[in-house]
Every structure is written in structure tokens, then in C-alpha cells.
Amino acid sequence: MTTSNGVRAVLFDFGGTLGYDEPGFAEGFATLVSAMGYPADRQRYHEAGEKARERLPEAPREVGPWLVWRKDYHRQIIRLLGVPDDDLERVAQTVAERLRYYTRAYAYPDSPYTLRCLRKAGYVVGVISNIAPALPLVLDELGLSRHLHFAIASETFGAEKPDRRIFEEGLRQAGVAAHQAMYVGDSIEADVMGAAPLGIHPVLIDRSGTVQHREGELRDRYGALRITNLTQLLDHLGVQLWADEALHDVAPSR
């Protein structure tokens, strides 16, 4: 499908755009370790994570090997958070068992419906995100992958936004030229400033309204559209499917 402005593909960021995690992974990890008697916080988790990456081989790009690598990565973080070797196994096992219940990814309520409408209307719909290789697993868990043609994780691809190469790969997989694509994300630096130089139509989703004062600048400098809810894309693109009852049956967000 091509609209009046020539858009044939709508591509999305994930975190802060289609979904979020609550509590955040770092916060959840640190909280669980703290509950076992080894005080930690978000900052200490990130510091330990940086050191852990230095000690380990480069993370694999494929999902399966990455999940194996992640176990060693978490063990290194736990050790760096001050857990002695004689208690390492207990803490690591407890974190592994409980983390997926303590910190979870959720889809925003407007995400499934918007993606489903866009695909129903004939657009190519994809994800380009700065995220780990587990992106396909997260999208499956949230019921979003069935509405997508493809998803690209930066750690699998080998470059992250705003690097033009990851956007170019998205265009290649979508089968469109830059001016035929729209990219929606919540970061001015990674998303708007990454997409605009290539000629992709940038859309900033500002769910909290914190950058409303920059709307004019974003429009004049980058040609960016600012929205506060994904369903506004449907109005902007002229997708009129609100009365289609079949599209209201979407997987619930978690």
C-alpha cells in the first residue's frame, strides 16, 4: 500500500514505543540480589555488567547461544555485586528462577491494535530496536510478532541506532526506499536523528509529553511528527478501520 505521502512501510522501535518492562531488568535483578543479603542497586548492576562483559567472550548474535552466554554473564554480575563463591550457586539459581516473574515485558495497550490495523491496511510492518538477540522471544511472548513482517535486534545485527546501517537493513527487509518508510521511536537521538538523514519519515512518540516544547524544532529540523499515542499514526496515514470489529480481537498486553 502507498499513501498520499508515499509511505509503504511503518517501522518501530520496541522499548518505550511498543512495549516496556516494569520493574526494569536492572532494578529487578538488583532487588533480588539485595533480598538475599547482598545490597545492590541499578547503578551497581550496570557497573558490574560492564566489567562482566570485559571478562567474557563477545556475546553471540544468535538467540540460542546468547541465552547460554547470558547465564555466565549473570553469574559474573552476581560475583561482582559482592556474592562470595561459596554462596554463588544459591544466589544465581534463585535469580534465574525468579527474575522472569519479578521483571516482565509488557505491550502498551495501543500497540497490538495499531500494528494489526497497519498490517490489515497493507503496510509492511517491522521492528528495528537497540536490544539483545532475545527480541523475537519477547515479541512472541507479547503476541506482537504475528502482526510483524520482521524484527531486527541491534545485538544480532551488529550495529545499533543511530547507525545508518541498521536502518538500511530495515529498508532492505521491508523492500522499500527510504522515502517510502516511516520510523516510530521514543528517542530523539537514536530514532529521529537516526532515521531522518536517510530520508525516512521520523515519528517521535512522546507518551509522557516531556518534549512537547520541542515539537516545532523537531518538525522544522528533522521533518518529524510528534505523537503521544500510536493510534494517532492511523489518523495520520488515513487508516480508517475503527469500525472493523475483527480488529478489536487482539492479544491482551501483559
Q: Could you read off the pLDDT of 43-83 as tens digits, one per residue?
A: 999 999 999 999 999 999 999 999 999 999 999 999 999 99
DSSP character string of 34-49:
HHTT----HHHHHHHH
**Structural domains in the chain (count):** 2
User: Quick one: 81 and 118 in the same domain?
Assistant: no
User: Quick one: 15 and 29 in the same domain?
Assistant: no
Predicted pLDDT of residue 3: 54
User: Quick one: 16 and 133 in the same domain?
Assistant: yes
Distance (Å, rounded) from C-alpha 45 to C-alpha 40?
7
Residue 3 lies in a domain: no
User: Quick one: 122 and 188 in the same domain?
Assistant: yes
Which regions of the chain are under pLDDT 70?
1-4, 241-254
Distance (Å, rounded) from C-alpha 184 to C-alpha 127?
9
Instruction: Please state the pTM of the whole predicted model.
Output: 0.89
Predicted pLDDT of residue 253: 44
User: Quick one: 217 and 242 in the same domain?
Assistant: yes
Predicted pLDDT of residue 199: 97
User: Quick one: 195 and 82 in the same domain?
Assistant: no
Residue 1 lies in a domain: no
Domain with 221 in it: 9-21+106-248
Nearest of 107, 77, 113 to residue 92 by alpha carbon: 77
Residue 14 lies in a domain: yes
User: Quick one: 181 and 212 in the same domain?
Assistant: yes
Predicted pLDDT of residue 88: 96
Domain boundary (80, 102, 124) is at 102
DSSP H stretches of helix in 121-163: 135-141, 154-157
Distance (Å, rounded) from C-alpha 78 to C-alpha 38?
9
Predicted pLDDT of residue 247: 58
User: Quick one: 125 and 236 in the same domain?
Assistant: yes
Indicate if the alpha-carbon torsion angle 178, 184, 185, 188 is positive or negative: positive
Predicted pLDDT of residue 101: 85
